[in-house]
Every structure is written in structure tokens, then in C-alpha cells.
């Protein structure tokens, strides 16, 4: 006997959208965003919005006794002028009772022809497509449907052949993380393979990933966003974009870090807060930015190492300054902690930087395990 599929409201119903701070209504459906709507008037670079609507860590959560689910979506996939191939659309992953049950390739929808990162030149419109998950475990079960971390995804419809109920309240702590592309994890093998999601699963917490590829630049609107949202745990991974974009000098970097922390502390004075420095990246360890991509596809520095003595920032300088700031602030903020990013990926792991900067999918999973082992350990900064 075939059971008819029934529409399930995506908003205002039993489905909870976790990991997104805003839902933008589009002509097609709804677009999750990892930054609140009010921030849009405060950034000039379209790449910020492009990163915010890449749903890293965003998932639909509900309970159901359905044996089949249909998810209709419209993706927007990038195509660089310098490379005729489409960027990978990524994976949709279905978790059932906490276990990965199925994976589906996200379909190609809109194609964004781009002159460069964040520089959309033309949109070739596409059509929504249906992704189906069938043969699910019988009976009531907990469902998490994870969206592809690298592809903006409009939610058009959700259908089920059974009842759909709100998710249970599990009482897990909420961990808010902000970082760069190395925390956004575009190169991961799926949305549950990003290092923050791997770490959150091992630590038994719910993660909200506010990381913005190419845009971890101590923007005040990000600090205010974190200040005003619920959070039991907070971590910040700071430095790589600041170096590769040559965005600060030593004179301005320290006060900007202090200001970012001060704003967060206005809303979370006693919340455990972990400040992390960059992972290893040989091209920028002792050289400042800016960065460029060499003919072999590797990211390299075009900055002058001699300028470091005059205040230009290398990764070595950034790590020393972040550790100094934490040491100073710990005198009045015992809940502030520091982690050297090389504990997650160090000098002996740099073969796992596919382009000289970004970790491979395997390395991201290893980073998640190392973060959990350090941070959620019995004596770690995120110990209950």
C-alpha cells in the first residue's frame, strides 16, 4: 500500500532550523543565513553574504514516523570565469537517531558565473529539484537533515509519508564558533565532516557555526551577533584572513581583538570563551600577506618578510599577540582560554593542506577529534 506524501511547513511548524540566525524569504522558498538580517547594511563586500548563506552547520531537525521523506531545494552553484567547471554542490546528509543514515548529492540549480570569489557576474537560473530519502527505519525517530556546507540552498518544500513532530529537547549545551574558511570547511566531504560538527558530536553539544570563508576579520557586527545570542560555550579562531588580506598591522590588531572580546563579554561575562590562533600554513608563518594563488594552484605570500619588523603581521606574530592578550585578560577573566591552532594541524601535518592553506577532508575530521580531545577533556576549557 502506497502512503501519500504530505507537505510539512518549513517555517512556523514542527521543523526546527538549527544553525541559521535568519531565514530570507525568496521567490522560490526560504534561504537560511548564518548572520542576522540587520548585519547586511554593515558590510560592503558581497562575499560576506555569499558566505553567510552557505549553510555550514545548518540542519532541519524534527521527529517523524515516516519511512520516506522528500526535500525540494534550489541550490546556487559557483562557476569561476577562470575555470569552466562547476564547483562541487556538496552533500545532503540524513541523520537518524544520531547516526548517519543516507547521503545524497545536492542537485545543480542556479549557476553563478563569477569573476572571482564573491564577484557574481551573471546568474543562470535553474529549477528546484527533489531529493528523496526512502526505506527509513520504521517507528518514531529523531531526524537531522544537514545542508551542504558550501552551497547556498533555498528550501522549497518538505514532504513526508507520516507524521512530523517537533524535536525533543535534549538539554545539550549550545556552542557558538566563529572563524574563517578553515572553520567553514568548504573542502569537507560533507556537512557532518566539518571539524566543528565532528567536535560537537564527540563533545555532546549543539554547534552553531558562524564561520565565514574569507571573512574572519574581527567585524564588529559579528561580535554583536555573538553577544546577543544564547551561548553556553564560545570559540573564536582568529588570524589567517587577517594575515592573507593584510587587513591589520600590529598596532591595530591588538586593540581590535580586545574590542571584539569586550563586546562578546558584554553579553556573556562568564561564558567559557576559547580564543584560537591559526593552524600551520608554511607560506605565512614568517611572511605577511597579501596572498595570491600561484600557477600550481598553491596559495602563497607576496608580502615582504622584512616588513614584519615594521608591524606587518605574519602567523608567528599573530599567535604571539593572541597568547599575550589572553594572558593579560585572564587576570580578570578566568573563563577566557587560549589554544594554539597548531594543536589541531601543526607543522608535521602540512602535507594535508591541499592548496597550501586549506585542509583536506581527512584533515578536517582529524582536527575535530583533536579539538574535542583538548577542549572537552576532563580538565578542558569546555568541561561541564
Which tens digits make up the pLDDT trace of 130-187? 999 999 999 999 999 999 999 999 999 999 999 999 999 888 999 999 999 999 999 9
- % of the chain at pLDDT higher than 70: 99
Q: Distance between CA 87 and CA 83 in Å, rounded?
A: 9
Q: Distance between CA 353 and CA 298 in Å, rounded?
A: 9
- Residue pair 320/342 in contact by the 8 Å Cβ criterion: no
**Fold category of 6-165 in CATH:** Jelly Rolls (2.60.120)
- Residue pair 85/177 in contact by the 8 Å Cβ criterion: no
What local confidence, expressed as pLDDT, does residue 200 receive? 98
29's CB contacts (< 8 A; 6+ apart) are 10, 72, 73, 74, 128, 154, 155, 156, 157
Q: Which of 163, 162, 110, 103 is nearest to 133 (CA)?
A: 103
Quote the mean pLDDT of the chain: 95
Q: Which three cell numbers stand for residue 185?
A: 570547511
CATH number given to 174-375: 3.40.50.1110
Q: Which three cell numbers stand for residue 144?
A: 537531522
Which tens digits make up the pLDDT trace of 95-136? 999 999 999 999 999 888 877 666 778 888 999 999 999 999
Say yes or no: do domains 6-165 and 174-375 share a fold.
Answer: no
Q: Which of 157, 187, 149, 152 is nearest to 75 (CA)?
A: 152
Q: Which of 310, 312, 226 is nearest to 275 (CA)?
A: 226
| C-beta atoms surrounding 373 within 10 Å | 14
118: exposed, middle or buried (C-beta count within 10 Å: 0-12, 13-18, 19+)? Answer: middle
Q: Which of 64, 91, 76, 86 is nearest to 32 (CA)?
A: 76
Q: Where are the chain's structural domains? A: 6-165, 174-375
Q: Distance between CA 317 and CA 287 in Å, rounded?
A: 10
pTM (two decimals): 0.96
Under the banding of pLDDT at 50, 70 and 90, the label for residue 328 is very high
Amino acid at each position: 500500500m502506497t502512503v501519500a506524501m504530505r507537505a510539512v511547513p518549513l517555517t512556523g511548524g514542527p521543523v526546527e532550523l538549527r544553525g541559521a540566525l535568519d531565514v530570507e524569504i525568496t521567490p522560490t522558498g526560504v534561504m537560511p543565513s548564518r548572520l542576522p538580517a540587520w548585519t547586511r547594511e554593515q558590510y560592503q563586500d558581497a562575499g560576506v553574504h555569499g558566505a553567510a548563506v552557505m549553510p555550514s552547520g545548518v540542519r532541519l531537525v524534527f521527529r517523524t514516523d515516516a519511512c520516506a521523506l522528500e526535500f525540494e531545494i534550489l541550490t546556487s552553484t559557483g562557476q569561476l570565469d577562470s575555470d569552466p567547471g562547476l564547483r562541487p554542490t556538496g552533500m545532503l546528509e540524513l541523520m537518524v537517531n544520531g547516526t548517519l543514515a543516507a547521503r545524497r548529492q545536492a542537485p545543480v540549480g542556479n549557476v553563478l558565473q563569477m569573476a572571482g570569489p564573491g564577484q557574481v557576474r551573471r546568474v543562470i537560473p535553474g529549477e528546484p529539484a527533489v531529493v528523496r530519502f526512502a526505506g527509513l527505519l520504521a517507528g518514531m525517530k529523531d531526524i537531522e537533515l544537514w545542508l551542504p556546507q558550501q552551497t547556498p540552498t533555498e528550501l522549497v518544500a518538505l514532504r513526508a509519508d507520516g507524521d512530523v513532530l517537533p524535536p525533543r529537547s535534549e538539554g545539550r549545551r549550545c556552542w557558538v564558533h566563529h572563524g574563517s574558511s578553515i572553520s567553514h570547511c568548504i573542502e569537507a566531504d560533507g556537512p557532518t565532516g566539518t571539524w566543528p560538527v565532528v567536535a560537537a558530536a564527540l563533545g555532546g553539544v549543539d554547534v552553531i557555526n558562524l564561520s565565514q570563508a574569507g571573512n574572519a576579520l574581527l567585524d564588529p557586527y559579528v561580535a554583536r551577533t555573538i553577544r546577543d545570542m544564547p551561548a553556553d560555550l564560545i570559540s573564536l579562531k582568529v588570524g589567517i584572513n587577517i594575515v592573507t588580506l593584510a587587513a591589520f598591522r600590529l598596532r591595530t590588531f591588538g586593540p581590535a581583538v580586545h574590542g571584539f572580546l569586550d563586546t562578546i563579554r558584554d553579553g556573556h561575562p562568564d561564558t567559557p570563551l576559547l580564543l584560537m590562533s591559526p593552524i600551520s600554513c608554511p607560506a605565512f608563518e614568517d611572511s605577511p600577506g597579501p596572498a595570491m594563488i600561484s600557477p600550481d594552484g598553491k596559495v602563497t605570500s607576496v608580502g615582504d618578510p622584512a616588513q614584519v619588523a615594521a608591524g606587518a603581521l605574519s602567523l608567528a606574530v599573530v599567535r604571539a599577540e593572541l597568547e599575550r592578550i589572553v594572558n593579560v585578560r585572564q587576570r580578570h577573566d578566568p573563563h577566557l582560554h587560549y589554544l594554539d591552532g597548531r594543536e589541531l594541524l601543526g607543522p608535521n601535518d602540512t602535507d594535508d593542506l591541499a592548496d597550501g592553506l586549506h585542509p583536506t577532508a581527512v584533515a578536517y575530521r582529524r582536527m575535530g577529534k583533536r579539538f574535542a580531545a583538548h577542549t572537552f577533556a576532563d580538565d578542558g576549557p569546555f568541561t561541564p
